[in-house]
Structure 1
Amino acid sequence: MTNNTTKADVLIVGAGQAGGDLASGLRQQGYTGRIVLVGEEPYVPYRRPPLSKTFLSGEATLESLFIKPQSVFDKHNIECMFGTGVESIDRETRTARLYDGTTMEYGKLVLATGGRPRRLSLPGADHPNVHYVRTIADILKLKEQFEAGKRLVIIGGGYIGLEAASVGIKKGLKVTVVEALPRVLARVTAPEISAFYERVHRSRGVDLKTGVGVHAFEGDALVDAVVLADGTRIESDIVIAGIGLIPNTEIAEAAGLTISNGIVVNLHTQTADPDIYAIGDCAQSENAFFGRSMRLESVPNAIEQARVTAAAILGKPVPYSAVPWFWSDQYDLKLQMVGLSQGYEQIIIRGDINSEAFSAFYLKDGVVISADAVNRPQEFMIAKKLVADRVKVDAAQLADEGFVLKTLLQTPA
């Protein structure tokens, strides 16, 4: 080896939830080899969900975002290289080249490279008052402008957009949300739930516009107004774009790995190269529960894939078979979702949808395939088991709040 070459038994590229959990999990299960964790941001692995919620609002400190402090990584002899990244991979020599020119050999390589916000392509989208929500740096920049009375225009009615809208209202900003699709949360939930959240946001003061896209930005140094496709002009001081995530697959693709909406991996998170794995937001993974490949953007998915990868590296492989679940905090509402509702045939609402505490169950052939719970954490825990066990239910019982939901767990399909 040359002076600027070193070797890691496990090299983890990406220091987010998935990468950090994998490093810790390997040590917890007795792995003694050299682990190197490389991350482009200058921070230990941190939680991203609070960025658009409590961190943006000022309720959470920077330190509270950290999953584990640096001292824990030091204690477990996990070598951390933060503020740098991997430029390229050479599979033949099993080496990775870092931004600083260092070449690192690896025994096993894990790509936990995450994703980046999909950018607006309009002229003016690079102005300093146009923001994205993905990193600590993004929020620190946004917080400098996030002041009461400012006119905030949010492009995108998904989780990020609606969470940012709720914080904006709480902080006294004048908030407009623009969603090109006919309803908010259209990709993840039923029309009934979309309608509920639209009512909630409008009742809190959000000017919500659906079914119309953004046509142009006006302004020289800053975006002074957002012009919609129907000609509507919305004056703005701040613009936030929440229009999706692009998986970071470039170094994997350049190395000849298979890419299809992410880095393609098997049930054990392994790529076609047996020494390279991919986990988290960047991975298009086989899932034994669904019997198909999918890419999921969620903390529980990152945690589970880290667990599966640790088992594979330790020679005790277990298949990735988790049922996905998600959550979103908006105002005083906690939305918890489990399963995937695509292809459902019937939706059953349990409780009064106007009371801001209810559950929605998605059925296919009478089986619970997904559920949304708003401010009903106990029902959500039962719903997770109903989905995981593929329980077939009687729709009338499910809708009857007098019926004890837990009894359904005794009758799997």
Structure 2
Amino acid sequence: MVKVVIVGGGPAGVSTALACKVLGEDVEVVLVRKDEKQLIPCGIPYMFTRFSIGENLLSDDLLTKYGVELVIDRAVDIDRDDRRLILEKYGELPYDYLVLATGSKPSKLNVKGENIKGVFYVKDDYEKLVLLSEKLKESSSAVIVGGGLAGIEIADELARKGYEVSIVEALPHILMLNFDPEFATLIEKYFKDLGVKVFTNTSVLKFEGEGGLREVVLSNGVRIKADVSIITVGITPNTLLAEKAGLEVSKYGVKVNQYMATSDPRIYAEGDCAEKKDLITGKHAKYMLASIATMEGRVAAVNIVKGNVLKVKGVVPKYVSKVGDMVFGA
């Protein structure tokens, strides 16, 4: 019996867990995640207006159906010599193979006032998003910091629900990391016609308010009154556990080979926390998409169960979004 322990309950981790059980009859799978409830990442921008947070959860039923053991605890260290995962509350878990699917964490602005009540970083943390949802119920204005895909999706949802919305983007255009300026200008026009204020080529200088957010102060001197600010300025790989264990890590994530194995052949990494190579350019990159994460999860499972027979030669990021009646992708 081979024992596979997976750290992380997002798309990558769940994909590996299910694939391991499907591929191998003699495979014991334990999935460790820190949160009691696991959100679906792609649904987060829509869970404040279209449906409730409770309707945007990954079901544990599939894990149970396929015999995956679920442990709710925080992984704090790895004993690579004795092949044990050290947990915060429940001691340790021995493994034959360990899979790191530890995801990502929000990039910080590191500006004054970002810890004021009413300022939120968006990530798949159930408890924090419940607080954001409750705050929005008593709010009428919102400043979205970051004009990427998540930022514009949230802005669109809130504006169409009647909130007074502003978008703040440091680059010359929103969506500039995804599309060319000509297309980005069309999206900006849509938002302006909707009544959304779009501030480009500027950044947040500080957040102000006594007892809660009152104003967002921009680097161009503009002050925006707001009840809530939602920050979506990007995410970075969560490599803390890997670094602590002495695995090789780069600025793009945990270093992996084409089989998704790390510098320790008994430990695999996948999803947002793992380094990617662009199939077209051959360069390393940070592509944090659920579609890539689930693919890597399946590849890791095949190679654990069958013995390194499947390679990831590179990835091509693909995404689709919608604001108003405009559907676009790349």
TM-score past 0.5 threshold: yes
Q: Give SS of 1:325's match.
A: coil
Which residue does the alignment assign to 1:284? 275
Are 2:245 and 1:222 aligned?
no
Q: Counterparts in 2 of 1:1-400, with a 5 A limit?
A: 9-43=3-37, 45-53=38-46, 55-57=47-49, 59-67=50-58, 69-82=59-72, 84-135=73-124, 136-147=126-137, 150-261=140-251, 262-286=253-277, 290-314=281-305, 315=307, 317-321=309-313, 322-337=315-330
> What whole-Å deviation, never above 9, does each CA across 1:374-410 have from its counterpart, x for those lacking one?
xxxxxxxxxxxxxxxxxxxxxxxxxxxxxxxxxxxxx
Q: TM-score, normalised by structure 2?
A: 0.93
**Closer, same or farther in 2 for the Cα pair 1:25/1:137, shift >3 Å?**
same
1:137 shift after superposition: 2.7
1:316 shift after superposition: 5.2
Q: Is the 8 A contact 1:267 1:288 kept in 2?
A: no
Q: Is the 8 A contact 1:8 1:104 kept in 2?
A: no
Larger Rg: 1
Distance 1:248 1:200 in 2: 35
Q: Give SS of 1:125's match.
A: coil
Q: Is the 8 A contact 2:302 2:308 kept in 1?
A: yes
Q: Is the 8 A contact 1:117 1:245 kept in 2?
A: yes
Distance 1:232 1:289 in 2: 41
1:291 shift after superposition: 3.3
**Closer, same or farther in 2 for the Cα pair 1:213/1:289, shift >3 Å?**
closer
Name stretches of at least 5 consecutive residues in structure 1 with no aligned partner.
1-6, 338-413
Distance 1:24 1:224 in 2: 47
> What whole-Å deviation, never above 9, does each CA across 1:117-147 have from its counterpart, x for those lacking one?
1123222211120012212333321111224
CA RMSD in angstroms comes to 1.9
Larger mean Cα displacement after TM superposition, 289-298 or 205-214: 289-298
1:158 shift after superposition: 0.8
Q: Is the 8 A contact 2:204 2:218 kept in 1?
A: yes
Q: Give SS of 1:34's match.
A: strand
> What whole-Å deviation, never above 9, does each CA across 1:188-224 have from its counterpart, x for those lacking one?
2211121111111111111001001111222121121
Q: Is the 8 A contact 1:52 1:133 kept in 2?
A: no
Matching residue's letter, 1:325: K
Q: TM-score, normalised by structure 1?
A: 0.75
Distance 2:200 2:280 in 1: 35
1:294 shift after superposition: 2.7
Q: Is the 8 A contact 1:267 1:286 kept in 2?
A: no
Q: Give SS of 1:92's match.
A: coil
Name stretches of at least 5 consecutive residues in structure 2 with no aligned partner.
none
Matching residue's letter, 2:266: D
